[in-house]
Structure 1
Amino acid sequence: MRMYDLITKKKHGQVLTDEEIQFMIDGYVKGDIPDYQMSAMLMAIWFQGMTDHEITELTKVMAKSGDMIDLSAIAGKKVDKHSTGGVGDKTTLICAPIVAACGGKVAKMSGRGLGHTGGTVDKLESIPGYQTALSREQFFKTVNDCGVSVIGQSGNLAPADKKLYALRDVTATVDSIPLIASSIMSKKLAAGSDCILLDVKTGSGAFMKTLDDSIKLAQTMVAIGELAGRRTVALITDMDTPLGYGIGNSIEVMESMDVLKGHGPADLTEVSLQLAANMLYLVGKGTPEECRQMAEKAIADGSAFETFCKMVRAQGGDDSVLRDYTKFQQAPYRAEVKAERSGYITKMNAEEIGETSVVLGAGRETKESAIDFSAGLILHKKYGDEVKAGDTLVTLYTSKEGALADAEKMYREAIAIGDEQPEKEPLVYARIEKDKVEKY
């Protein structure tokens, strides 16, 4: 078998066999297939696409290139959740403890932030003492004891994906649905959960900017999950504007705790409840309606908040900060940005607001960048809200005094104030199960 022949085959739109996909990925990981040949294959896939069977086989081979985590030491059905990334997207911190409080098991490996999207691991590490690097035994014990554990991704999860992603990044082949879907799902299959809930973001702050592309990606990932023997459901959720009011690390933890205490922002609460209800549905806790009621009850009776606190203590964290936010590291510099005119907020570009938080120190510009846990911003007005000249639009927080002027300029460019009140977009656009798209 020669890589040259496989490139030719895919260039002409033909279907690769399971053996050919295995040969290609194994050879690339071992270093037998050079970057220039794999680059040609990636571009052929970008133009010609792949069948669901090809994508599933590619995903399975990528997953098996490293550790396949066996979660059988954890009692009960395990459910995983993946978000395609967004600004102010802190839903894992909310829906994971809700599911655990209702009897589900969530063994979650999360990533760090890069660019305009924040990582769950960075948010959790803003809690003093919280350990995101646990041994397998500690991880399993925490899930068995608390119903939930959120840790950082292990070093050897789907190494083929890591190598392919770096190549896609420099060959203009990142934006291919087969390649995005196999990249995400290879890590989910390797992580070992029985069921997977996908939160596919759409809009300016998302990787997929249009609803049609988001639905296509979701359908592809659901097909992969089901063909690989995992119950999989996807929700398409809005990321045209940031979720909630807070963007930053400790800022987002505080806002998540507000939701778990029953007084968080309405948009963040609603999306988190829908995600939690679908996770409970996947593990067989009832109908979608019953699962929604269970999720609401876990917030109302305080059990979801207590579950989160229990996980934090189990992982070495100081849960007193979750009750007294003044104990979090505080940013030494802050600035309020005021409205220069009256009207309505007619534009709020989530991606640009995410970039503003990076300038303040809340995100990474490179993989090596250090994170300032106290940096970020709190939006006082959001898309569609009425504003009066002189109203505070946003408060900026940073440890770098010089960053405030740049951040204010970026924030002002990310929004627009007009005379007509715009219509608000729905929070959840669609729900996708195997062979079924339900639009809301």
Structure 2
Amino acid sequence: MSTHLWAKRLAQVAVAASALIGIAWGGQTVANASTLAIPDISEWQGKLTASQVSNLKSQVSFVINRRQYGSSYQDLYAANNTALYVKYGIPFGEYDYARFTSAASAKQEAKDFYNRSNKNAQFYVLDFEENDVTSGTTNAAVKAWYDEMSALTNKKLVFYSYQSFATNYANTARQSFDAQWIANYSYTPTIAHALWQYTDHNYLAALGEYTDNSKAVTSVHPVSWWTDGLTAALTHTTTSYAYSSYKKGQHVYLHKGATKDADGKAIAAADRQKFYKITQVKSVTQSKSQQALYLAGLNRWVLSEDATGYWVGQHGSFNLKKKLYVYSNSSLTKKTGSYYVAGDTVAGKVVKAPSGKSYRIKTKLGYLSANTKYSDHAYYESLGANKVITTKKPIYEYTRSSFKKANRTTRVAKGTTLTVTGIKRRSTGSRYFVLSNGKYVTAQMAYVTE
């Protein structure tokens, strides 16, 4: 294991251990690792569907949704998303990304925020992480926002920022709020906090993407304080379903025991224990499956319980959905002692296992399972219908498909929309977009969204 990876894992173990025994910096108890996710969601995650939110219900304690980016901009999907939270019984709060410039504009921004909000929200958040104040002090502006919201609602008011900004620009005003939500991706915050945003890269299976995630400091406020006792988790059923989140274009290995297709017709032994490409999927509730797969070559629908998905061909890098151990051999019988965790992006080459019945991802540290339920490809692999992308982070345009520093041209700011004409694949499996101006940018999902 590399020194960097070893140190990272050691730190993760230390944090996990301290949480489990109820000890954290500052004497606060952080909810342990079994706690459901607490994501914050905005238009960057897209317009959520009923299916996504229904599935999200069992994966979160509560959600914090952006309502506006200052008074002048409403989140595109806030109304849709919060209405779905209400419909499916997911507790949620809403936040205002502060853009006020004075105490007076802070009051107006608070009014706009409250008037636009879904009144079923359990709490309201001021997201203050950018100093736009040009008149008066930042503490006065934050306090003005708080005072105005207090006059408008009796619901809980929460202050959010990253640690250094909170202490430098709102060290007095933040004390008035009912709770503080502090971001620190390096270590547990050392200032008072009831909610800790510890990562911007937590995989949510219901959404099929990564979001910011937080942990409740239960010694300050239990999860029920945030939710007013509203429970998000679904009632458990006795049926344990097979993995049923396959996508068109993926490959599966049809099991030896798959004697019948989804319609109950016999599958010949000669057609089993083979790899097939999925060309269609549909939702079902049948036996132990919630999905049926149409397999090219077999030309039949089969239940998801009768197949196992693997990455086939080269995809460049993978976003891991769960902790995966690293093995020194492609049979996955000898652990190296290293491992990756959920949220890691891992570059690797897809290779076939010695048995011929599965695939592995060969990384610089060793071999991982290439089972599709454990990871997702890190690059867009097809061109979206709209033929536009939006940058999630600052990126560079390149004059050549080789992204060397010498080939860089324009630096593109976060939030920029670009028109694309194609998507190309390198021999390693990594992808890049071709822009309408003839230049190239990365197709990695961590940097752009279609």
Name the one with the larger strand percent.
Answer: 2
Name the one with the larger helix percent.
Answer: 1
Same fold (TM over 0.5): no
* TM-score where L is the length of structure 2: 0.28
* TM-score where L is the length of structure 1: 0.29
